[in-house]
Chains A and B, each alone.
Chain A
């Protein structure tokens, strides 16, 4: 059942929606070009730019709230972008119920992370550049979610990829950071290939890439094309959202500064895949195969991510695994069909709050521990960094799903919806919740409790206000976001997702109770393993295959290496051999012949004027002779 949005043209405030994108983009360019003069004020400029975008988004949101449901989806045509022959692509923005939520999340969490970064990056001499990249990211991400057609969306899609690349590799003097950036970029290219092909087939089949046209055309699509397009879009989503099989880059992406991990690799960019799937729901609904693939990818990723999270000692990598896992939940929800779209977005928003909160908290801990990321070197920090601890705890409770915090509502709905569609997916989601509780508790225990395992010379201290205030705000949202949105979001998103609102439960259902039981089991197991006995200073050697696999990211890199890298290398070596042994010999042979010839002919060039005069005379004679002979004939 597809409900088409009723779009109204932009008036009033909405005509200025493009400013949301333009302001951070211009500031980014300004900061990059501006030079050292801006070193002192550049970061506040960047913060200001995001705040401007945020206030604009809030105003638009308020307008939408006040307007009736039929006047909420607004198109803002900007300009004719590509006009060639029969093609006419218009660049325009679509401010509807879905995109405004994203815009709010991006600019809201973005603003907090910007402010946090002012403190976090205070001692980095390239801070201005960092903020320019962050603003670039905000602008690109807003293009992505506000676009009204897939081509413009793709511009944003590539823009966030670029910003992600620049920010992961921001400390490019570290070879590992440079390599991680490259890895993220290359793996995203694989996904982008799917994305490009999907957009191209849209243009070919529908003659347009606008969401409206695609939604209309999808209804009449034959099964082959809807499946193909769905799978291609899923490939794109997998790349951007670090879903299996393109998951390997996200763990390495933690090489970037922590605010980047919070903003890009937890709250916003990596959720773009979910946005894409929800936005393209018209296509996915036409193909059972594509939907099943989405569910499969989501389920596998939520387990894989959780598994990796259980065995890492690097605090950021635990959180990265957790991010993969949570996005797996969202994917799963998005694949469940109309029943799940709103829950996917719901979980996306709450996750954006509590995961950003925890990443920033982790950044604060690292700040206290001299940028050490190994949790085995932490311990007993709750008393030292109190604000960080309490805010982190809010995020922790939210993610493992303790009612009435944010994660409880959003995750519980997904698990229930999964059971409605498929028992296997439901069980996996349930299991994932238990594992989540386990690894998050482990993280909490190793970081904040137990005895001190600090390295020599490390003197933990609480972070400055500029960093803790965003933490507090995010923690607040981690607590209340679920309650606020639970009864409201389905209805709100109804026109955009075409799904009818269900009655949602406020109190735990039987499945909810079961989830909480598993969560309690996970917490208990973690307490028994890490809370009751001292944590070893170095990771103990383990024979447990589950641990070994988890520590090695489930051999994701090895699999990629064996399946893609090695065959490519073999092919490349073959081509090189062919090039040097077959083609070059031929080409060099021709070259040798000609250089030999020219070495001889160049003797004619004596530099003697008289020799040239002789040559010229002979030439005149020849021409004359030819002329006379032709006259004779």
Chain B
């Protein structure tokens, strides 16, 4: 089977992730959307690893997972820290980054 379908599926997932980051106000959900985008990219790499006959795509996916794990740990700590001071996980509440 052609990897094209996987690519289209990944594109849809990635797009949903993008939109999620833009419209969800809960920082945790926005963060999950980022994870979704990472997973979409992983899917493409695994699909093309099969199609092109090399394992490098799978290795890359493995590394992405490691990085994602690290990212989640730090990201969630930041969200907790923000929550601790502001009593809210809404990304709209933290809007001090302006003039």
Contacts and interface: CB of A to CB of B under 8 A. Distances in A.
- Judged by CB atoms under 8 Å, the answer to whether A and B touch is yes
Interface of A: 602, 605-610, 613-614, 617
A610 B31 CA distance: 12
B95 A606 contact: yes
Contacts of B18: 617
Contact of B21 (A605, A606, A608, A613): A613
Nearest to B27: A609
B99 interface: yes
Contacts of B30: 609-610
A610 B30 CA distance: 9
Interface string B1-36: 000000000000000001001110100001000000
Nearest to B92: A608
Contact of A607 (B22, B23, B25, B95): B95
A610 B21 CA distance: 7
B84 interface: no
Interface in B85-99: 91-92, 94-99
Dominant secondary structure at the B interface:
loop
A602 B94 CA distance: 18
Contacts of B23: 610
Contact of B98 (A607, A613, A614): A607
Interface in B54-99: 91-92, 94-99
Contacts of A602: 99
Given A602-B99, A606-B98, A614 B22 contact: yes
Given A605-B99, A610-B21, A610-B92, 14 more contacts: A605-B97, A605-B98, A606-B98, A607-B97, A607-B98, A608-B92, A609-B30, A609-B91, A609-B94, A609-B95, A609-B97, A610-B22, A613-B21, A617-B22
A610 B99 contact: no
7 contacts: A605-B98, A605-B99, A606-B95, A608-B91, A608-B92, A609-B92, A617-B18
A610 B98 contact: no
Nearest to A617: B18
B91 A607 contact: no
A610 B18 CA distance: 11
Contacts of B91: 608-610
Contacts of A606: 95, 98
A614 B22 CA distance: 6
Nearest to A606: B98
A168 B91 CA distance: 69
Nearest to B24: A610
A459 B31 CA distance: 94
Nearest to A612: B97
Contacts of A613: 21-22
A476 to B, nearest CB: 81
Contacts of B22: 610, 613-614, 617
A609 B29 CA distance: 14
A157 to B, nearest CB: 56
B53 to A, nearest CB: 27
B13 to A, nearest CB: 16
Report the 6 A-B pairs with minimum CB-CB distance, sorted nearest first: A607-B98, A607-B95, A609-B91, A607-B97, A605-B98, A602-B99
Interface centre among A606, A608, A609, A617 (most CB of B within 10 A): A609
Contacts of A609: 30, 91-92, 94-95, 97
A601 B14 CA distance: 31
B25 to A, nearest CB: 7
A607 B21 contact: no
A607 B98 CA distance: 4
Nearest to B19: A617
Nearest to B18: A617
Contacts of A614: 22
Contacts of A608: 91-92, 95
Contacts of B99: 602, 605
Contacts of B95: 606-609
B25 A610 contact: yes
Nearest to A608: B95
Contacts of B98: 605-607
A617 B22 CA distance: 9
A608 B23 CA distance: 11
Nearest to B98: A607
Contacts of B21: 610, 613
A521 B91 CA distance: 103
A613 B94 CA distance: 14
A608 to B, nearest CB: 5
Nearest to B91: A609
Contacts of B92: 608-610
Nearest to B25: A610
A606 B97 CA distance: 8
A606 B95 CA distance: 7
Interface string B39-59: 000000000000000000000
Nearest to A604: B98
A602 B97 CA distance: 12
Nearest to A610: B22
A561 to B, nearest CB: 53
Nearest to A614: B22
Contacts of B94: 609
A197 B31 CA distance: 74
A613 B34 CA distance: 11
